[in-house]
Each structure stands twice: as C-alpha cells, then as structure tokens.
Amino acid sequence: MNILIIDDEKDLCQLLSGMLTRQGHTVDYSLMIGDGMNKLADEVFDCVFLDNNLPDGFGLNYIQKILLHNSECRIIFMSAMANLKTESEALGAYYFMEKPITFKVIDNLMTQNSL
C-alpha cells in the first residue's frame, strides 16, 4: 500500500513511517498541507494519515479535496480534539484517530481493516 502522512510533527512522521514500512508499505510524509497536496497531485496514495492542526492550514478543510482527487483514498484523520470525530467522518474520513496516537491502535487499524 502507498501511504502519505501529513503531520507537522517530524518525529511522529518518522516513527509512523518506519512502522508502516516494516509492515511492507511504501510511505512518504509531508510536514505541511501544501506539500502534501502537491504529492497527492503527483502520485496516487491508497491511504493518507492527515493531521488537523498544520502550520499552513487545517486538515479538516482538505478531506474532501483529497477525496475529489482520489475517491478510493482512505483518510485516517488525526487530532487531539475528539470533538472533530463526527465532522471528519461526515466529510469522508475513513477513520478518526485521537492524539496522542499509540502504535498498537495503528497496528490494529492496519491489520483489522485490511489497510
């Protein structure tokens, strides 16, 4: 699976990328939404881990834009604000992951949902 992580926390991106790569996925990451959207325009990703609070915008505002570009993309929306769960899912997010995230949750998500 080809996965893109869009999150401004570089350490999280690197840890998550390493974990997903060890599971056999191809992973890239962006620290800004603009860079992530450019990558999405250039390459097809099966899954996007999307943070909400980014330096150049709110991930919530980009869920539908990502899906317009690739309706098959599964968006894992990540935020410390649990109240965004319903809204993110209504906009088309496949799954809401509350921060701080745990790798056990990610592992379960990837294996149980055939991601």
What domains, with CATH codes, occur in the chain?
Answer: 2-110 (3.40.50.2300)
Whether this prediction's pTM lies above 0.85 is answered by: yes
User: Residue 111 has what pLDDT?
Assistant: 83
- Is residue 114 over pLDDT 90? no
Asked if the model's pLDDT at residue 72 lies above 80, the reply is yes
In this model, does residue 108 exceed pLDDT 90?
A: no
Give 16-20's long-range contacts (Cβ < 8 A, gap of 24+).
16/49, 16/101, 16/106, 19/103, 19/106, 19/107, 20/106, 20/110
Q: Cα–Cα distance between 15 and 3 in angstroms, integer?
A: 14
